Amino acid sequence: MSKELTPDLCVIGAGSGGLSVAAAAAAMGVSVVLIEKAEMGGECLNAGCVPSKALLAAAHAAHRMRTARRLGVTAENVNVDFSAVMAHVRASVAAIAPNDSEARYRAMGVQVIRAAARFVARDKVEAGGCVIRARRFVVATGSAPIVPNIPGLEQIRFLINESVFKLDARPDHLVILGAGAVGVELAQAFARLGVRVTLLDAGRAMAREDEEFSDIIANALRRDGVDLRENVKALRAEAQGAGFALHLDDGTRVEGSHLLLATGRRANVEGLGLEAGGVRRRKDGALVGADLRTSNRRVYLIGDAAGGPQFTHAANYHAGLVLRAALFRLRARATPESVPRVLFTDPELAVCGLTETEARKRHGAIRVLRWPVAENDRARAEGVTGGHAKIITSRNGRIVGAAIAGPGAGELIGMWQVAVARGLNVRAMAGVVLPYPTLNEVGKRAALTALAPAAASGWLRSLLGLLRKFG
């Protein structure tokens, strides 16, 4: 006979979003059952954010050593021990894993079940020999890589993000399909670690971003030796010796030793029995609305499972909204503009709010303010001068979006996310006092350009002339 549990909250999925919900609810004295069929910590810890940033750190370190001559420092014979780099990646995951462990969550009072979960009724889930009848359910099962339908692909042992970090030997020639965030970051990382890399995309690389920024990153990849080919499709794959060959629609073929698929992700909701749980797709195909609630008002979806922005911080943002709604009956509405995004290449690209293209569609008349990183004193001193900041305002000066390409852009975007979220006017940001010399001044200098027309206006000069007469 199955054991019946009756918690206030049942969370399915122990990735970033699910763990955030479980921890916060338990801290408030809410009874929580947390179900996870795979590894605690989910994709972010085990096959996404953490291992990729550890790999990028090693790659950037190798690059800085090779290019230190511009600062008057020469590093001779820079050696990359690939197996040691991958050991560092795995050690980084292992060091963080205790924070997401089953033992830690049990200590918080969360009941953890390590098994697959499936809805059997609108208010019941089965998992690990238990029936969980909860007041509210939160599905936080993340997403899975999309394997494109390419004839012959089944004959090749290809890599996805879940397996690429398990490599120990350096690939001879890594071919990556998909020039989105995952493909671009890993292409640069492997190239800087001494791997020959070819990056293919059926459209424009980083197509989501304004072209002026995607071009900056594309040029950086090419400088690092990545063979980036845009607007090409793989028509057919075939095994070839120990490697493979891809036949492309431009009549060429690419031969490689390893193939990495980075062609997008889809919500991990298959096998959950959502139909039995009364969860139906909406007219637009989505499972949830802006409130993250499904057609079954007991059930919420968050993070990648909700089909929204595929970022860890988006899942955490969703977690906060769902807690407001599920526990306190407060109104919750997820807005994509509330979630910034960062491409952790070198230079980094960070975006918040609307892109220029999106802003023109929504607001019509906008103002675009720019400032180059090369005009920043800190950047000059450190010899990292590529990129620029772009601030987008509505006609009345309200900040609706910002993007920064340059060193540390992911750290710099934070204050602009606050400006977008709070609806601040660009004059407010132009008046912020920042320490000198810091890279943060790049964004402020862009904001200051909004004041230039007023400073040059005739009425201001007339006023100053009048004031001079009074001493």
In whole angstroms, what is the distance from residue 147 CA to residue 263 CA?
7
Q: What is the pTM of this model?
A: 0.93
Where residue 286 falls among pLDDT bands split at 50, 70, 90? confident
Strand partners, 301: 139
Q: Which residue has the tokens 């960070």?
A: 350
Where residue 462 falls among pLDDT bands split at 50, 70, 90? low
Q: How far is CA 199 from CA 203, 225, 299, 366, in A?
A: 12, 11, 40, 35
In whole angstroms, what is the distance from residue 407 CA to residue 387 CA?
8
Judging by DSSP bridges, how do beta strands 196-200 and 173-177 pair with one another? parallel
pLDDT at 2 over 80: no
Where residue 157 falls among pLDDT bands split at 50, 70, 90? very high
Nearest to 342 by CA among 352, 355, 334: 352
Chain mean position to CA 376:
27
Q: How far is CA 316 from CA 188, 204, 261, 290, 437, in A?
A: 28, 30, 26, 15, 33
Q: How far is CA 71 from CA 60, 76, 128, 155, in A?
A: 16, 14, 59, 49
Where residue 464 falls among pLDDT bands split at 50, 70, 90? low
pLDDT at 454 over 60: no
Interval 362-400: pLDDT, tens: 999 999 999 999 999 999 999 999 999 999 999 999 999
Average pLDDT score, the chain = 93
Mean pLDDT of 405-425: 96
Q: Tokens in use for 403?
A: 């993007």
**By percentage, how much of the chain surpasses pLDDT 90?**
86
469: left (phi over 0), alpha (psi -120 to 50) or beta: alpha
Mean pLDDT of 92-106: 97
Q: Which residues contact 433 (CB under 8 A, 6 or more apart)?
A: none
Where residue 338 falls among pLDDT bands split at 50, 70, 90? confident
- For the four alpha carbons of 447, 449, 454 and 460, in that order, the dihedral sign comes to positive
Q: What is the DSSP string of 12-25?
A: E--SHHHHHHHHHH
pLDDT at 282 over 60: yes
**By percentage, how much of the chain surpasses pLDDT 70?**
95
pLDDT at 50 over 90: yes
Specify the pLDDT at position 330: 87
Strand partners, 153: none
Nearest to 438 by CA among 380, 352, 370, 371: 380
Specify the pLDDT at position 22: 97
Specify the pLDDT at position 264: 93
Where residue 307 falls among pLDDT bands split at 50, 70, 90? confident
Specify the pLDDT at position 465: 64
Domains within the chain, CATH numbers bracketed: 3-144+267-337 (3.50.50.60), 153-263 (3.50.50.60), 347-455 (3.30.390.30)
> Would you say how long the chain is, in residues?
471
Where residue 466 falls among pLDDT bands split at 50, 70, 90? low
Dihedral angle at the C-alpha atoms of 345, 348, 354, 360, nearest 10 degrees? Answer: -90
3-class state of residue 469 by DSSP:
coil
In whole angstroms, what is the distance from residue 272 CA to residue 35 CA?
12
Specify the pLDDT at position 458: 61
- For the four alpha carbons of 4, 6, 12 and 16, in that order, the dihedral sign comes to negative
Amino acid at 366: I
Q: How many CB atoms within 10 Å of residue 123?
A: 18
Return the ∠ at Cα 298 (arms to 274 and 8), rounded to 5°: 115
Interval 111-143: pLDDT, tens: 999 999 999 999 999 999 999 999 999 999 999
Where residue 281 falls among pLDDT bands split at 50, 70, 90? confident
Phi and psi at residue 453, in whole multiples of 5°?
-60, -40
Specify the pLDDT at position 89: 97
Nearest to 272 by CA among 113, 125, 114: 125
- For the four alpha carbons of 380, 382, 383 and 388, in that order, the dihedral sign comes to negative
Interval 221-269: pLDDT, tens: 999 999 999 999 999 999 998 899 999 999 999 999 999 999 999 999 9
Specify the pLDDT at position 463: 55
Mean pLDDT of 8-24: 97
